[in-house]
């Protein structure tokens, strides 16, 4: 017996030792998928298989590195170094370096990344005099990538009547022409983009039988990780390579197929048995990660999908805590509920920040969660994207706000003077700079007095600069007349920025558009939030109308506090669910479980799309090891309007025996009462599975009798003190700000959350 096999369970060991013929390993969440792959390679090597005859394909370099390290630890690094192990793209690039001359490519061909490709496409669109709003570079790049993933060449694209009809109806009849020019330009540059690495490998194997036979004989054992994520091109290449001896082992989980938007085809794994009738299937169903409660709840959800390979995931772990489903009045309060729960768990159980993760469907959702975590001084890190206020489109619109408030803000001016494009190019901007330095003045003043300073630009450009200045001045004139939200929305629309993002229909463009919507939502919340603290009355310093300059001041404080600490290694992880795949955390929060958000509104028109959304929820649930909280908002801002939300259908699919209804609820600092928080849902279709009697328990939280204890002198109250409030009960002072009559305290109250109080009105009693 090979000694290292003793570390495998019965089913894992069967999958490792069955080396001949087609093999499918269906690996449930947390069941040791990577272990099976690595042990299988190690076992093959221990049986005398030549490492040069083993091909192991992964989707990420990280996965390949981890597998190599594990194999080295099992049997040493000697022969194991010679295994062909890597990502699809890296392995196929290696083959093309050797065989590419047959396709008229030199061995030193360049590989264009996504940015290189988009720059080339952008230049082609400009050269062809096409409207870059109609032919948005991101959209065109996505369309070309999708065609290549389906193995459709530029020539075939232009001959396909259905494709041409789709482009015509979309108002983009020249897409095929751009695709042709793009490929010709790549050829002339001796370059391939990422999709070409797959496309050209397929062409090589299809058109040169001797090359196909060479690699079929070479790769006697093929292993493919995450097979459910393969696209058509990857599927066809693997099928050709394995056709000779059929020693192919695929590992994956159809329940975790969540990349359909990238071209992944779940049918590849569902139809594996049809492709290889003699295939042997092994199911890894023991979960080593999560509690019985989490595993059982996730099983109940995924059983609702029709298209799946049935399995019964189970675990020997403890039952664990039930899943908490928490309702919030708004998305802003949802962020506070999550942050307060993290704070409570940390304090009560002495946990690290790194044990917590907050998952969401779209990047834009991070905003309210980030702000709530900052208020509690909880460090966090955004994965797979920038912190909300650091995203380009958000900074672009904020720059318009800044130049509206302060015309001399040169950084903001230079950021937006030609965005969206208005014909004020780099050469012109350089001339404005030179004139400003020469006259010892600001670039804005040169723009404002363009005729007087005469920086040497053409009459047409002078007119465009004057129009820009007039537009900004018109915004400034309205600043004290309109509230922050009304003016912000007017600026986003009038500048053309909103239309610029709306016209980009690529996934990236949609994401940017959603982020602008979320920024406007934040401003709407800011505008409607009382400009006074809960315990204080109106003052002259607290006007009823909140203006754009006040919002910028608040954002500046947020972003200043958000500078990444390079030394910080203990942080809460924030990410989309797609980014979380393959990861695990002790405590997981899934936010935004509402219809049209999760499941996404784009997924509701077809069963396959809805089932992918359910798989995404399954992936999110199974990231949790110990505790799982699911949150939803009754109302969520949508383009500044507070809209009524319907709880996600996925919540109804969880068996009630796995659900806990919290005895305590958290409130945000906005002054919402617990009655507001737990008012009868306005949704037209309330949750059928969540009993109202359980939700009603929330409405009684915090309604304790008023205390009549002697208040302390507010000047004596300091950070770290334990205090008591007549309404909120006992709490701890976490921060003091200001002095004298303006002295404020941020207090964390047990079971309620964080409150900011003006001390002269708060009537706190010092306990110790």
Q: Which residues are catalytic?
A: 33-34, 225-226, 256, 623
DSSP per position, 384-435:
SS--GGGSHHHHHHHHHHHHHH-TT-HHHHHHHTTSS--S--HHHHHHHHHH
d(C-alpha 428, C-alpha 419), whole Å: 14
**Of 312, 305, 362, the residue nearest 612 (C-alpha):** 305
The encoded tokens of residue 735 equal 């921060």
Phi, psi of 252 (to 5 degrees): 180, -175
Cα→Cα distances 633→333, 404, 513, 619, 744, Å: 8, 34, 21, 21, 29
Strands 356-360 and 585-590: parallel
The encoded tokens of residue 71 equal 């194999």
CB 264 within 8 A of CB 228: yes
CB 25 within 8 A of CB 273: no
Residue 629, SS3 per DSSP: strand
714 CB contacts (<8 Å, ≥6 apart)?
743, 759, 760, 762, 764
Q: Which runs of consecutive H residues, i.e. helices, occur in 109-224?
A: 114-127, 137-149, 154-159, 161-169, 175-188, 194-207, 209-218
Question: Exposed/middle/buried for 532, CB within 10 Å: 0-12, 13-18, 19+?
Answer: middle
Residue 118, SS3 per DSSP: helix
407 CB contacts (<8 Å, ≥6 apart)?
413, 442, 444, 448, 472, 476
User: Would you tell me how many other CB atoms lie within 10 Å of the CB of residue 278?
Assistant: 8
User: Would you tell me how many other CB atoms lie within 10 Å of the CB of residue 742?
Assistant: 13
d(C-alpha 396, C-alpha 389), whole Å: 10
CB 461 within 8 A of CB 469: no
Strands 54-58 and 84-87: parallel
**DSSP one-letter code for 262:** G
CB 292 within 8 A of CB 318: yes
Question: Exposed/middle/buried for 74, CB within 10 Å: 0-12, 13-18, 19+?
Answer: buried
CB 470 within 8 A of CB 478: no
CB 192 within 8 A of CB 186: yes
**DSSP one-letter code for 322:** P
User: Would you tell me how many other CB atoms lie within 10 Å of the CB of residue 378?
Assistant: 16
């Amino acid at each position: 017996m090979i000694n290292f096999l003793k570390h495998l369970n019965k089913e894992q060991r069967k999958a490792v030792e069955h080396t001949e013929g087609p093999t499918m390993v269906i690996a449930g969440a947390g069941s040791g998928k990577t272990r099976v792959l690595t042990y299988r390679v190690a076992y093959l090597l221990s049986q005398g298989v030549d490492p040069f005859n083993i091909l192991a394909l992964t989707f990420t370099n990280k996965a390949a590195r981890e597998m190599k390290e594990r194999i080295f630890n099992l049997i040493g690094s000697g022969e194991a170094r010679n295994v062909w192990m890597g990502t699809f793209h890296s392995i196929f690039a290696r083959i093309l370096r050797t065989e590419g001359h047959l396709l008229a490519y030199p061995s030193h061909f360049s590989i264009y990344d996504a940015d290189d490709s988009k720059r080339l496409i952008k230049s082609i669109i400009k050269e062809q005099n096409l409207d870059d709003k109609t032919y948005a570079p991101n959209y065109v790049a996505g369309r070309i990538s999708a065609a290549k993933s389906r193995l459709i060449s530029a020539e075939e694209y232009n001959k396909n009547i259905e494709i041409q009809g789709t482009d015509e109806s979309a108002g983009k009849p020249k897409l095929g022409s751009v695709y042709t020019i793009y490929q010709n330009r790549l050829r002339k540059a001796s370059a391939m983009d990422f999709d070409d690495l797959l496309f050209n490998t397929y062409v090589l194997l299809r058109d040169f039988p001797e090359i196909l036979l060479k690699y079929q004989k070479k790769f006697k054992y093929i292993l493919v990780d995450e097979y459910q994520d393969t696209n058509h091109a990857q599927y066809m290449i693997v099928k050709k390579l394995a056709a000779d001896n059929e020693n192919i082992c695929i590992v994956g989980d159809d329940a975790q197929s969540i990349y359909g938007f990238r071209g992944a085809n779940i049918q590849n794994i569902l139809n594996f048995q049809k492709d290889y009738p003699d295939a042997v299937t092994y199911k890894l169903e023991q979960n080593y990660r999560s509690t019985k409660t989490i595993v059982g709840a996730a099983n109940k959800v995924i059983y609702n999908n029709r298209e799946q390979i049935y399995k019964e995931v189970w675990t020997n772990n403890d039952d664990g805590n039930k899943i908490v489903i928490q309702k919030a009045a708004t998305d802003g309060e949802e962020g506070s509920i999550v942050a307060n729960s993290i704070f409570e768990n940390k304090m009560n159980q002495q946990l690290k920040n790194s044990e917590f993760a907050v998952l969401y469907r779209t990047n834009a959702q991070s905003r309210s969660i980030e702000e709530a975590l900052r208020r509690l001084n909880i460090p966090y890190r955004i994965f797979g994207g920038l912190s909300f206020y650091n995203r380009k489109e958000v900074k672009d619109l904020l720059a318009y706000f800044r130049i509206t408030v302060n015309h001399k803000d040169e950084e903001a001016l230079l950021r937006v003077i030609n965005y969206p494009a208005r014909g004020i190019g780099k050469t012109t901007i350089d001339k404005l700079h030179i004139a400003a330095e020469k006259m010892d003045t600001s670039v804005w003043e040169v723009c404002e007095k363009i005729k007087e300073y005469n920086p040497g630009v053409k009459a047409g450009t002078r007119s465009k600069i004057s129009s820009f200045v007039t537009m900004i001045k018109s915004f400034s004139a309205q600043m004290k007349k309109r509230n922050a939200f009304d003016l912000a929305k007017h600026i986003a629309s009038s500048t053309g920025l909103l239309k610029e993002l709306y016209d980009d229909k690529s996934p990236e463009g949609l994401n940017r558009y959603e982020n602008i919507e979320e920024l406007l939502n934040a401003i709407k919340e800011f505008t409607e939030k009382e400009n006074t603290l809960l315990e204080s009355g109106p003052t002259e310093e607290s006007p009823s109308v909140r203006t754009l300059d006040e919002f910028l001041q608040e954002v500046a404080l947020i972003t200043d506090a958000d500078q990444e600490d390079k030394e910080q290694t203990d942080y809460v992880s924030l990410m989309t669910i797609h980014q979380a795949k393959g990861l695990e955390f002790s405590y997981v929060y899934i936010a935004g479980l509402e219809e049209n958000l999760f499941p996404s509104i784009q997924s509701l028109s077809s069963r396959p799309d809805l089932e992918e959304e359910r798989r995404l929820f399954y992936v999110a649930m199974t990231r949790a090891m110990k505790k799982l909280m699911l949150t939803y908002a009754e109302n969520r801002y949508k383009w500044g309007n507070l809209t009524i939300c319907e709880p996600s259908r996925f919540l109804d699919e969880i068996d009630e025996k796995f659900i806990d209804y919290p005895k305590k609820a958290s409130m945000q600092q906005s002054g919402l009462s617990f009655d507001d928080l737990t008012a009868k849902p306005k949704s037209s279709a309330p949750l059928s599975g969540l009993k109202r009697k359980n939700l009603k328990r929330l409405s009684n939280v915090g309604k304790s009798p008023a205390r009549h204890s002697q208040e302390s002198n507010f000047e004596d109250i300091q950070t770290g003190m334990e205090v008591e409030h007549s309404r909120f009960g006992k709490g701890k002072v976490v921060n003091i700000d200001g002095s004298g009559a303006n002295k404020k305290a941020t207090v964390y109250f047990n079971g309620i959350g964080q409150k900011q109080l003006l001390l002269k009105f708060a009537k706190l009693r010092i306990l110790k």
